Amino acid sequence: MPEPVTLHPPGPTPAPTQAGPWRLVRHASPSSVEARLWNGWLAASAQPSPFLRHEWLQALHEQGCATPETGWTPCLLTAHAADDDDLTRPVGGCVSYLKTHSYGEYVFDWAWADAYHRHGLRYYPKVVCASPFTPVPGSRLLAADAGVRAALLHELTSLAHDAGASSVHLLFPAPDDLDAARAQGWLLRQGVQFHWRNRHDATPGAAPYADMDDFLASLQRDKRKKIQQERRRVREAGVTLHCLEGDEIGSDDWDAFFRGYVNTYRAHGSPPYLNRGFFEQVGTTLRPHWLMVQARRDGRILASSLIGIDREHGVAWGRYWGCDEHIPCLHFELCYYSPLQWCIEQGFRRFEGGAQGEHKMARGLLPVSTGSAHWLSDPRFSEAVADFLSREGRHVGGYLDELRERQPFKADREP
């Protein structure tokens, strides 16, 4: 178990920005920030998701998933105008964690930590601005004003200095967050994920896919036949598929899902990041944002996948899966085919398949670039990491070009 790091949030810290001075306040718990304000900033941001809502962060904290005892010491920042003397009118904020390890981030810096260690330096603690255990791109600096975003970044580096942290890491941020970090000289890193886009999202003015068959018809013949064969194997195993949304998901469904979720982690020899209490809490507080896809046989739940959804923006995110029994192709069915079919039926614009996985391309999910931004306090290591990221960026760019040449769609498909 990681050793907790003690964080003593000080009072307001002046942070001069392009728009003038702002006062930044540090909060040691999500409960210290009003949920209504936080969710309002998120809803107004360029790229909101359920995975940065106050309810999500609160559940991670209250259920012991992201706490000092697990190596995640929370520190939420709020920004206040200079004349907000009583600090009752915040205008934006961000969530950060002082971390003693690099687990649960999906932007890998283990080699950086090793380099620090080999030079007799401490890489941990470090500061991470991210949604724990969640590689979902989205807004991180929750402010409409560019000056406030700059002030939040400035305060993150001040937090690192005060805590003796080696660095700050802004993970899977929205483009406007990356622009703010770039303007302050942070180092930018590029990654790759695989997302599905409905036809009307990829090409404005085009018609959305009418149904799953319409989507399959747009794929190359070998890709289409492979998907049809894999779906048929699941049906021939006597499995029926069921999509449950929001209120339709009951306690027994959550129990069955969690049992499979734990089994999946055990199969990989690692403990799960999230516990049953967490899922029980977000199953209630974020009820409208869940789709559960179940595989049943003879009335028994064999496997489940959990998909985050945002009906307002027409976006879905593949997040978790687990099974009690191995059935060939069932993972593909629950994690890709059934969610895609549901998204098409509901007119959703996008389905994000999560981190990594070239195999997703054969299922119609295409490569997209993701980003992160990094600030290192030691100028020597900052220079070395900048050189590494420059070389890595060229490699990732070439990799993306190569992937884009391997389109799974027919050349004559409608745009």
Tokens of 325: 């029994």
Cis peptide before 125 (omega within 30 of 0): yes
Domain 195-368 homologous superfamily, CATH: Gcn5-related N-acetyltransferase (GNAT) (3.40.630.30)
Entry pTM = 0.93
* Strand 126-129 to 167-171 pairing: parallel
What are residue 173's DSSP bridge partners? 138
pLDDT at 413: 57
pLDDT at 356: 76
* Strand 167-171 to 350-355 pairing: unpaired
The one-digit pLDDT tens for each residue of the chain (415 residues) are 333 334 444 444 443 333 347 999 999 999 999 999 999 999 999 999 999 999 999 999 999 999 999 999 999 999 999 888 888 899 999 999 999 999 999 999 999 999 999 999 999 999 999 999 999 999 999 998 999 999 999 999 999 999 999 999 999 999 999 999 999 999 999 999 999 999 999 998 999 999 999 999 999 999 999 999 999 999 999 999 999 999 999 999 999 999 999 999 998 899 999 999 999 999 999 999 999 999 999 999 999 999 999 999 999 999 999 999 999 999 999 999 999 999 999 999 999 998 778 999 999 999 999 999 999 999 999 999 999 999 999 999 999 999 999 999 998 654 4
d(CA 411, CA 37): 48
Asked if 162 and 332 touch (Cβ cutoff 8 Å), the reply is: no
HEC sequence for 295-332: EEECCEEEEEEEEEEECCCCEEEEEEEEECCCCCCHHH
Q: Is 281 helix (H, G, I), strand (E, B) or coil?
A: helix
pLDDT at 13: 46
The domain ranges of the chain are 13-185, 195-368
Quick check: do 13-185 and 195-368 share a fold? Answer: yes
Buried b (16+ CB within 10 A) or exposed e, 298-336: eeebbbbbbbbbbeeebbbbbbbbbbeeebebbbbbbbb
Q: Which fold would CATH assign to domain 13-185?
A: Aminopeptidase (3.40.630)
Q: Whose CA is closest to 94, among 180, 166, 158, 30?
A: 30
Asked if 165 and 107 touch (Cβ cutoff 8 Å), the reply is: no
